[in-house]
Amino acid sequence: MPRWEPDARERLVAAALHLFTERGYDNTTVAQIVARAGLTKSTFFRHFPDKREVLAAGQETMARLLAEGVAAAPDDAAPLDAVAAGLQRVADAMTPFNRELAPRLRAVIATSAELQERDQLKQVGLAAALTAALRARGVPDPTATLAGELGILAFKDAYATWAAPDGDEDLAVLCRTALTRLRTALTTLA
């Protein structure tokens, strides 16, 4: 086996999610994950500190993409329009691999309070990335914080629809629709 396997990270994520679905999260070991992926433990630990982090794979990439999208928005874009640009950047990066594994990921997370907590931390981190990107554009608080939180709520809603077994809509369209719904809901709060 070569020292550096191509697509090792994706293989590890796919193997872990399949095993978590088959055996349960608590009953799956790192040894089983690497065996299913055809890799070694050292390869696993090069990519992830523990098996829980497999479920957060891509969080850093998503945070970076959100920030890049916000930064690339036109200078005169309103905060939520800049957030929409960040969501568009993330949606454009999602692949058939992401869509294929999304239902398994959601199902596995639903089985464990520990995993639900980790998922919530992921959401907080992504909202923080959006907020920081908005602040970098000069958006003051609490507007930046509120827009960042709304962006992640919109993404979470869109992702759930996109990840559904019968979901066939474009993730970017779903994100825009969810963000529009939230923007409209905000106007009814006053």
- Residue-wise pLDDT tens digits, 86-120: 999 999 999 888 888 888 888 888 888 888 998 89
Distance CA 99, CA 34 (A): 22
Backbone angle region of 40, left / alpha / beta, with phi > 0 → left and psi within -120 to 50 → alpha: beta
Tokens of 165: 């077994």
Considering only the top CATH level, what class is 58-187? mainly alpha
In this structure, are residues 135 and 141 in contact, taking their beta carbons and an 8 Å threshold? yes
- Residue-wise pLDDT tens digits, 179-189: 999 999 999 98
Backbone angle region of 101, left / alpha / beta, with phi > 0 → left and psi within -120 to 50 → alpha: alpha
Can you give the pLDDT at residue 5? Answer: 52
Domain with CATH 1.10.10.60 in the chain: 8-54
Confidence of residue 3 (pLDDT cuts 50, 70, 90): very low
CATH no., domain 8-54: 1.10.10.60
Confidence of residue 29 (pLDDT cuts 50, 70, 90): very high
Domain with CATH 1.10.357.10 in the chain: 58-187
Nearest one of 62, 65, 85 to 73, comparing CA atoms: 85
* DSSP, residue by residue, 108-174: HHHT-HHHHHHHHHHHHHHHHHHHHHHHHTTPPTTHHHHHHHHHHHHHHHHHHHHHSTT--S-HHHH
- Residue-wise pLDDT tens digits, 32-83: 999 999 999 999 999 999 988 888 878 888 999 999 999 999 999 999 999 9
In this structure, are residues 90 and 59 in contact, taking their beta carbons and an 8 Å threshold? no
- Residue-wise pLDDT tens digits, 130-174: 999 999 999 999 999 999 999 999 999 999 999 887 878 899 999
